[in-house]
Structures are given as C-alpha cells and as structure tokens.
C-alpha cells in the first residue's frame, strides 16, 4: 500500500510531497517519537515489524519517512540533483510539519547515514540515534580493506543505463535490479513471498520518467556519498549501533572502530546480532525493537541522574566497569591476534618521569583482559628484559600497550625501567592467592597513607621501596583513530587508565 504524503517546501530543493507512515495516523503528544528512515529502494513497508509491535506502539509514536528518490516521495520541483544531506533536511522538515519537535531516529543501511546527518544538522532535536546495518565511512579503498563492499562497479551500469536526455514515460525497473536489492538486503532470510512483494513495490515506485529519475538519483547518492568519520565527534546524543553477522555489504568489523569516533556521545554501544542480515530491522525485529525500548528509557534515566551520577556515567564510558576491574587478575594478559589490533597511525613521544613501587609495576605488567562491552580497555605488556641486555641504565626494559578493547585501536604505550627484573618476574608468576595478598597489602598501605603527613624517615623508606619508573609515553595523534589531546592531556588520560583500570 502506498505511503501517505505530506507537502513541504525547502528553498534550494523546491516543493515536493514526502511519503510517510505514522502509527495511529496521529502524533500522541504524551509519547516520544521514533523516526525511521529506510534502506536503498525500500519504502515505509520495511518497518512493518516495528509498526506491528504492541510494545513499541504503547511506548512511542512511530513515524517512517521515505527519503528523496524513494517510495511515494516525489522528485523536487526545483533541484535536479540531491544528496543524503538533503534527505536529512527533508526528514527534519517533515517532523516539523507533523508537530514532532524531538525524536529518536533509526535508520537501516543508507538510512543510518541519514539519521546521523539529522543529528548533525539539528542536534537539539535528536534524542538518540540507532544506525542499523551500515558504515559511517564513504565507499573507499580503506573501507574495503576492512570488509566493506565495493558498490561502484556494481551500480555504475545501472546509473548509466538510467540516464536519459529525453523523457521516458515507458520506463520500468528491471527484474535484475529488483532481485539484487532483495538478495543483498534480506540475505538468507529472503523468501519467495518477500522477494515477490518487494519486486512489485519497486516496479510501482520506479515507473515512468519520474521513476527513472528517482532510481538514478538514489543510486548516485550511494555511489558518491561522503564520509562522516570526521564529523562523528559532534554527535552528543546516545548511539546504539546494531549490526548483523551476515551483513553482506558492510560486515561486522569496521563498526567497532567507527563507534569509537562518537567521542561526544556519553552513551554509545554496539550490538552484533548473530545471523542478522543487512535489513536488520526486518530480519531481526526482536533485537532491534528491544534496543529501541532501551534507548527510549535513557532520557528519563538521565533526567533522574544527579550531577555526580552523570559524571560517573561519563567516567564509565571512558574507563569501563568498576566491578570488573575490582577482580584480581589471575594471569598476565596476552595480546590478541594482529588482525584485531591496530598499530599507531601518527604516534607522538614524550619523556615521562614517575617512580613506581614493586606492586605498581606488577599491576602494570599484568595488564587487563576485557570480558564484555563494559570493559573499555585491552592492556598487555612486553618485558622486562634484564639490564645486561640493554645499552644503558635508563633504557626502558618493559612496555605497556593500551588498546581500546572493541576497536583494537592502540592509544598509549608506556615505557618502564624495571630495576629488579628477577623479583618482578617472580611476582608476575605468583599464584592468585599471593597476588590477592599483595594487592590487599598495597591497598591497605594506600589507605593508611591517606591524610597523613610524611616524615623525613618515611620519605627515606619510600625511596628505598622504589622498584622502577615510567620513563616515556607514546600516544596516538590521529583524531580519526582516537582523540587523546596534547602531551598534558595524553599523560592525564593514560594516568587515569592506569589508575582506574589497573589500580596503579
């Protein structure tokens, strides 16, 4: 069934009718609104699993909007070309026309690019973003190295074939295109019924001269889209990205590193959905609907947080779950495979002079192995080497590597000079019970020292307990990889990772 339409005007585009679908055909002002943007050549019908969910309908207004070049949305009267930025502006204008001031936004595939653009264009109106089955980068050689597809050779023949200098009233989209859209989107979840349904929808949508123009522009938007990576830090609302393990165009690897680029968001998470295909809201509606309801609860939860609790939330995003860190480390953390770990892109080095006792050195070298998404860091060490293997006394003989756990981005390398290598190695190999005893002893010492004045005699004792020192820091300066700041901020950040994750 064709979507309803609403007329809008945008100065540079002209006038157009925008296709949309609204739950209960009206906005209930007592409920927040979820805006959904569909994938390539789909319509609002893609979101039937969301419109048919009693749980979602009781909690939210659901508004699906068809972007430029799709469904019942007409070709603009003024503009002959448009981009995903224009579709984002159109969606915001539809929200205004329907009386929706603020909304959560969910986008499948290309819809993910549009909802992120909506949050960039009007951050005050977007409560949260749910990208599904997508990538934030352009269609580049770099993204293809990370498991994403190369659509240009596939789509270029269609874009060329659909170009015409004269009107084409007899145009009809071909079966090859219809079958390709269904197979890429639904994957193993495609059935004869769904393929026939969407073939009929596509043939109705892309018919006649306007249908040809819409189809060509939809393809050109995909082929020529710009990367959002450098803009993601400006997103301040919560982000919950869901990606299927069977997503043919974009896989489920690149999303981990791109999620970390949302540095301005105080609540960002990635869910990898087992068996999920590209059109994830349709193939795995249960997981997607649950994520929507969880995000629906966030503003209410946030408004109930005290300033101290909000500060704690930001702390959690940066450093991880305190309950996990409190557990005794049983074995020395080992690095993951090289394919999962990214080396420095643009490293910068600086000297750093900080004395350490034996227990602090042990904790640094033991590292940290993440267990789930609440753990933000993967930390492992190399060394210590014996002094006779070094050229000078001040040469570092151990290094600690600090990676963001889900992206595998190397953020910091801390270089150490360990004085008593034999004692340190024995501590690293100590049984768990002994480790816990050492930790308890160190923590008690820390507690006893709080608030007390240190005498000259205690200063001498402390000096005698120095077992090594930090002598240098290397950090990532490529802001596409991580935003760690200048030398002072990098040292503060690395010091806090040591403090809050390793308890050093």
Other beta carbons within 10 Å of 246: 19
Dihedral sign for Cα 53, 54, 59, 65, please. positive
Q: Do β-strands 377-382 and 398-404 pair in parallel, antiparallel, or remain unpaired? A: antiparallel
Strand-by-strand arrangement of the 410-418 sheet: 347-357, 466-476, 410-418, 398-404, 377-382
**Mean pLDDT throughout 166-185?**
92
pLDDT digits (tens, 9 = 90+) for 38-50: 999 999 999 999 9
- The alpha carbon dihedral of 312, 313, 319, 321 has a sign of positive
Alpha helices in 41-107 (DSSP H): 48-51, 54-59, 84-97
CA dihedral sign of residues 212, 213, 216, 217: negative
* 456 pLDDT higher than 60: no
State the pLDDT at residue 1: 65
pLDDT tier for residue 115 given thresholds of 50, 70 and 90: very high
Query: What are the start and end residues of each CATH 3.40.50.1820 domain in the chain?
Result: 4-304
State yes or no: pLDDT of 78 exceeds 80. Answer: yes
Q: Model-level pTM?
A: 0.66
- Give CA–CA dist 189/180, Å, rounded: 14
Is the Cα dihedral 296, 299, 300, 304 positive or negative? positive
How far apart, in whole angstroms, are the C-alpha atoms of residue 57 and residue 44?
A: 16
Based on the number of CB atoms within 10 Å of its own CB, is 345 exposed (0-12), middle (13-18) or buried (19 or more)?
A: middle
Residue 311: which residues within 8 A CB-CB, separation 6 or more?
A: none
What CATH number was assigned to the domain covering residues 4-304? 3.40.50.1820
Could you give the angle at the alpha carbon of 378 between the alpha carbons of 374 and 380, nearest 5°? Answer: 150
Average pLDDT over residues 435-439: 38
């Amino acid at each position: 069934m064709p979507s309803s339409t609403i007329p809008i005007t945008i100065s540079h585009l002209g006038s157009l009718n925008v296709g949309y679908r609204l739950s209960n055909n009206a906005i209930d002002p007592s409920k927040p609104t979820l805006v959904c943007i569909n994938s390539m050549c789909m319509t609002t019908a893609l979101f039937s699993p969301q419109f048919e969910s009693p749980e979602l309908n009781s909690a939210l207004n659901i508004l699906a909007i068809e972007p430029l070049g799709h469904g019942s949305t007409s070709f603009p009267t003024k503009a002959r070309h448009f981009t995903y930025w224009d579709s984002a502006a159109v969606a915001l204008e539809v929200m205004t026309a329907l009386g929706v001031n603020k909304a959560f936004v969910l986008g499948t595939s290309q819809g993910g690019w549009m909802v992120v653009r909506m949050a960039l264009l009007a951050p005050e109106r977007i409560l949260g973003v749910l990208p599904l089955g997508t990538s934030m980068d352009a269609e580049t050689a770099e993204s293809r190295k990370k498991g994403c597809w190369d659509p240009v050779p596939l789509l270029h023949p269609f874009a060329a074939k659909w170009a015409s200098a004269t009107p084409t009233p007899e145009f009809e989209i071909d079966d090859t295109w219809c079958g390709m859209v269904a197979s890429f989107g639904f994957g193993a979840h495609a059935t004869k019924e769904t393929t026939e349904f969407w073939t009929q929808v596509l043939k109705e949508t892309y018919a006649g001269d306007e249908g040809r123009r819409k189809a060509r522009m939809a393809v050109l938007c995909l082929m020529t889209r710009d990367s959002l990576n450098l803009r993601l830090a400006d997103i301040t609302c919560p982000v919950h990205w869901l990606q299927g393990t069977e997503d043919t165009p974009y896989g489920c690897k690149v999303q981990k590193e791109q999620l970390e680029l949302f540095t301005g968001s105080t609540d960002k998470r990635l869910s990898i959905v087992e068996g999920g295909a590209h059109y994830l809201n349709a193939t795995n509606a249960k997981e997607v609907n649950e994520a929507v309801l969880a995000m629906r609860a966030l503003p209410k939860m946030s408004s109930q947080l005290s300033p101290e609790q909000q500060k704690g939330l930001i702390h959690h995003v940066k450093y991880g779950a305190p309950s996990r860190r409190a557990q005794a480390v049983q074995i020395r953390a080992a690095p993951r495979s090289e394919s999962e770990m990214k080396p420095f892109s643009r490293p910068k080095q600086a000297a750093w002079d900080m004395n350490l006792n034996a227990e602090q050195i042990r904790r640094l070298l033991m590292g940290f192995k993440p267990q789930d998404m609440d753990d933000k860091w993967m930390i492992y060490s190399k060394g210590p080497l014996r002094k006779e293997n070094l050229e000078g006394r001040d040469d570092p003989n151990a290094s600690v590597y600090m990676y963001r756990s889900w992206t595998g981005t190397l953020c910091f390398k801390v270089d150490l000079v360990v004085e008593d290598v034999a004692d340190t190695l024995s501590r690293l190999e100590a049984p768990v019970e002994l480790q816990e005893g050492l930790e308890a002893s160190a923590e008690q010492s820390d507690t006893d020292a709080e608030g007390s004045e240190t005498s000259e005699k205690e200063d001498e004792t402390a000096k005698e307990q120095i077992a090594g020192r930090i002598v240098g820091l290397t950090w990532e300066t490529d802001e596409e990889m991580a935003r760690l700041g200048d030398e002072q901020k990098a040292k503060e950040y690395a010091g806090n990772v040591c403090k809050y994750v390793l308890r050093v």
